[in-house]
Amino acid sequence: MNLRTLAVAAALLASTSHAASLEAPLGAALAHPALRGARVGALVVRASDGAVVFARHPDRPLVPASNLKILTALAALERFGPSHRFTTRVLADAPPGADGSVDWLYLEGGGDPTLSSEQWWRLAADLRRAGLRRVRQGLVLDDGAFDGQRWHGDWGRISARAYHAPVGALAANYGAFAVEVRPGVRAGEAARVDVDPPVPYLRIANRARTGAPGSRTQLRVERSTSGDGELVTVSGSLPLGAEPELFWRSISHPALYAGAVARLQLQALGIEVAGPTRLGPVPPDAQELLAFEGEPLAQVVNRFVKYSNNAVAEMLLKDMGRAATGRPGSWGNGVPAIRTSLERLGVELDGLVLVDGSGLAHRNRVAPRTLASALLVARDSFRVGPELLAVLAVGVGWLLDAVSVAGVVAPTAPWSGAPGPPPAPCAPRPDSSTA
């Protein structure tokens, strides 16, 4: 079905000063030619008492796209609390000997969605402080806290773009890496390619050339699984003297990538890691060297919502499923866990269809009233509200008192407070829907 949809728009007005003036401009914005043929839903309520200020099909369930992250974030805050930290355990076959050596080092993922290269360096530094200097036999990675499904079946064709990062309980850098391409010193030479982080897991095949000055930049960065790593193929050309081009791509195996980043940071701090990296469970007799706590959930939510990070959303969903059932986190147990948390908070869920946590699945359905209800619940909740409301966008101009959730509801002329000509409030998607 080729159906154009504009997923929910909802807002809270902090005061009543502009309420009466919203009907005409918001109505005009939703009647913009860019939305011709689209199914639209919108709801604006007054924060002080929940009174409806503007409504267009507020109970119509629509594809929410990334607006769904509002519900995922609220549910995670309800389930764990803002101060919760996900733990990554590091174990060994025995405590470090007199020379700081162990035979096997085990990394056990705990579903921490924000372990960056910097966080992995901090973990390595903590291990060095605990006396670790050498791993003789190898590194074992345990990602059994989640099931083995890395991509949801409803996401369709999976690309190498960073927003399609796989989901795993042991991860690094949101399942993504950067590729920087620079021109060589002369036309016709190979372009210069760097990958960040610089781990052997990411192997570069550089087929890109330096073009003549003023020529067109035509670059392509692809990645494919190659043995126990990824082959990053860079092709095309960019002109001599051009500025560097930066590309973000996803990896295909979260745990192996995390293991490569961990090994890099251990070695950077003088901890030698010999032997292979392999996947497997932590033996029951392994001894804990470190329980590394990640960032507080309040910070995780802040970064996740502001940057609309799909990988974080799906890891939080599986974290919730695991916490609710005691079984490996999955979409099967994470989706009901989100709904249960929202029900406990009293969010209105009529028409809600949850498939994933990020909004990538086109079968998700959310009505504007559900989002507005979630914002009202957050406003009234001292426990979870401040962390959620703090990350939402604040309108400008005559929407100065609005906390907005979705899209361009009604544009304004810069700083004047007067309505300006409305541009298209949404971007077309490849499938001809709109979000």
Report the 10 Å Cβ neighbour count for 173.
25
Q: Provide the phi-psi class of 242: left if phi over 0, else alpha when psi is between -120 and 50, else beta.
A: beta
CA angle at 59 for the pair 350 and 68, rounded to the nearest 5°: 70
Annotated catalytic, 306?
no
Mark out the alpha helices in 252-389 (DSSP H runs).
254-268, 297-306, 310-325, 331-345, 368-380, 385-389
Q: Estimate the crossing angle of helix 68-80 against helix 310-325, to 10 degrees.
A: 40
The single-letter DSSP state of residue 137 is E
Query: Which residue in 113, 81, 84 sits closest to 385, CA to CA?
Result: 81
* Catalytic position from the list 17, 69, 381, 416: 69
Catalytic residue among 117, 215, 235, 308: 308
**Residues 167 and 314: beta-carbon distance below 8 Å:** yes
Residue 25 burial (CB < 10 Å; 0-12/13-18/19+)? buried
Active site residue 330: no
Catalytic residue among 66, 250, 358, 373: 66
State yes or no: is 69 an active-site residue: yes
Rounded alpha-carbon distances, angstroms, from residue 269 to 133, 295, 335: 9, 22, 40
User: What number of other Cβ atoms are within 10 A of residue 280's Cβ?
Assistant: 12
| Residues known to be catalytic | 66, 69, 308
